[in-house]
Amino acid sequence: MQIMKHLVKNRLALAALITLGLLYFMALFAPFFASYQYDADDCLYSWAPPAKIHPFSFKDKMFRPFVYGQTYRINDYYARVYREDKTKIYPIRFFVKNFDYKIFGQGKTNIHLFGIDEGKIFILGADLKGRDIFSRILYGSRISLSIGIVGAGLALLIGLFLGGIAGYFGGEIDNIIMRFSEMFMMAPYFYLILALRASFPPNLSSTQIYLLIVVILSILGWAPVSRIIRGMALSLRETDFVYAARASGLGDFAIIRRHILPHTFSYVITAFVLDVPSYILGESALSLIGLGIQEPEASLGNLLSQAMGIVNIRLFPWILYPGLVILLVTICFNVLGSALRDAVDPKRKIL
C-alpha cells in the first residue's frame, strides 16, 4: 500500500503505469482492437501508407471522421505510389463487424473497435504483403509483452530458489551454485542466446518457439538475481529471528520460504520491473534476426525485421512503428522500476 501511495505521488511513474496498463490491455484484447487478422494479406495494398483520417469535410458533406479510398499508380521505377481516391468516402465506424474471434477461447464474436464498411483502413500503414501493421503490432505485443513478464518471472523464480538455497546453507552448496551462476554470467549474452537457440532445431511450432525463447532468456537471466538474493539470504540467516525459527525446529526450506525470501520482496519487485524490458528486447533481437517467432506469426521483433534494409526505412518509414512500441514499453518499465526502487528504499520513507 505504501508503495502504491509513492507511485501515485510520482506523476511520471503513474503515467508509465497507466501506459503499460493500456498496452497490456490492448494486447490482451488484441482481436477486438485490431482492424484485421495478423495474417490477412492483400496484394492490392502492398506498402500502403498510414491512412489519413479526415475529421470532416463540407465539400463531401461528411461530418464524422472518414478516410478516402486508396488507389495507386506504378511510377518509373516500378514502385507503387498511393494517392487518395476522392470519389470514395468511407466513414470510420465504431464497433463494426469484421472477422470472427474468441476472447479467452470462448464466446465467439465479430465486433471490433473501429473499421470501415468497404475498402481497407491501415492506420499505421501496411507492410510488403499488405498486412495491417497496427493489427500486427497488437498481435505481436501479445507475444512480446508476455514474454517479458513470463521470462522475467521465471528467471526470478529460479534466482530466488537457487539464491535462497545458496545464501541460507552457505559453504559448499553456496560455492557450487555461485560458480555455476558465474558460468552464465561470464559468456557474452547475445552469443549465448544464439548458441542456445542454435542447439534446437529451427523448424518448431510457434508455441514451442515461444516457450524456447522464454526458457533461453530466463536461463541466462537468473544468475545476477540469484547472486543478490544470495547476499540478502546470507545476512538474513544471521538474524535472531531466523535463529529463533531454527531453534523452534522449523525446517530449512520452510525458513527460506517464510523468513528469508519474503524479506527480499522489495528487491524482487523492483528487479522484476527493471528486468522485463531486457526480456522483451531479447525476444525482439532473436526474432529480428529470424531465430525467434516466425512469419506469419507477429512479434515486435520480427515486425522490425522488415526494417533491416535502409531502402525500406527510407521509402516506408511506418514500418518503424513496432520499434516505437518497444521504446515506449522499455521506457515505461524503466521509469516504473526506478520509481519502485525509490518507493521501497527505506531511507526515503523517512523524508
Partner 1 sequence: MDILRTQNLKVYFKQQGKAIKAVDGVDVFLKEGLIVSLAGESGCGKSTLAKTILGFNKPYAGKVYFKGVDITLKKNEPVIRKNIRIVFQNPYLSFDPRYTVFAALYEALTVFKKLSKSEGRGLVVKALNEVELNEDALDRYPHELSGGQLQRVCIARALINNPSLVILDEPTSSLDATTAYKIIKLLKELRDSRAMTFLFISHNLKLLHKISDFCFIMYYGKIVEYGPKDILYANPLHPYTKLLFDSADYKIKNILQAQELDYYGCVFKGNCQRKTAACDNPPSKLEAEPGHAVFCFNVDSR
Footprint of partner 1 on this chain (CB under 8 A)?
239-241, 243-250, 258-259, 262-263
C-alpha cell at 213: 525463447
Cell of 288: 529480428
Question: Is the previous residue joined to 91 through a cis bond, with omega within 30 degrees of 0?
Answer: no
Identify which of residues 67 and 268 has a Cβ nearer to partner 1 in the complex: 268
> Minimal distance in Å, beta carbon 3 to partner 1?
15
96 neighbors 123 (Cβ within 8 angstroms): no
Name the nearest CA neighbour of 316 among 120, 82, 141, 35. Answer: 82
Nearer to partner 1, 2 or 87 (CB): 2
CB nearer to partner 1: give 252 or 342.
252
Q: Is the CB of 242 or the CB of 280 nearer to partner 1? A: 242
Q: Which residue has the cell 465506424?
A: 93
Which CB, 116 or 245, lies closer to partner 1? 245
CB 339 within 8 A of CB 10: yes
175 exposed, middle or buried (CB, 10 Å; 0-12, 13-18, 19+)?
exposed
Least Cβ distance, residue 264 to partner 1 (angstroms): 12
Is the Cβ of residue 146 or residue 264 nearer to partner 1 in the bound state?
Answer: 264
Phi, psi of 111 (to 5 degrees): -85, 135
For partner 1, which is the closer residue by CB, 158 or 261? 261
Q: What's the burial of 53, exposed, middle or buried (CB within 10 Å: 0-12/13-18/19+)?
A: exposed
206-236 vs 189-198: helix crossing angle, rounded to 10: 130
Instruction: Report the distance separating Cα 116 and Cα 344, nearest Å.
Output: 48
Find the shortest distance in angstroms from Cβ 241 to partner 1: 5
For residue 266, the minimal CB distance to partner 1 (Å) is 12
- Under 8 Å between Cβ of 140 and 302: yes
Q: Between residues 54 and 263, which has the closer beta carbon with respect to partner 1?
A: 263
Least CB distance to partner 1 at residue 153 (A): 22
CB of 171 to partner 1, least distance (A): 10
Name which of 95 and 243 has its Cβ closer to partner 1: 243
Helices assigned H by DSSP within the chain: 2-9, 11-28, 30-33, 133-169, 171-186, 189-198, 206-236, 240-247, 252-255, 265-288, 300-304, 310-315, 321-344, 346-349
CB of 293 to partner 1, least distance (A): 41
The CB-of-244 to partner 1 minimum distance in angstroms stands at 5
DSSP state of 299: -
Nearer to partner 1, 44 or 234 (CB): 234
How far are the Cα atoms of 152, 182, 192, 222, 244 from residue 185, in angstroms, in the given order?
Answer: 16, 5, 10, 9, 36
Tell me the closest approach of the beta carbon of residue 177 to partner 1, in angstroms.
21
CB of 127 to partner 1, least distance (A): 52
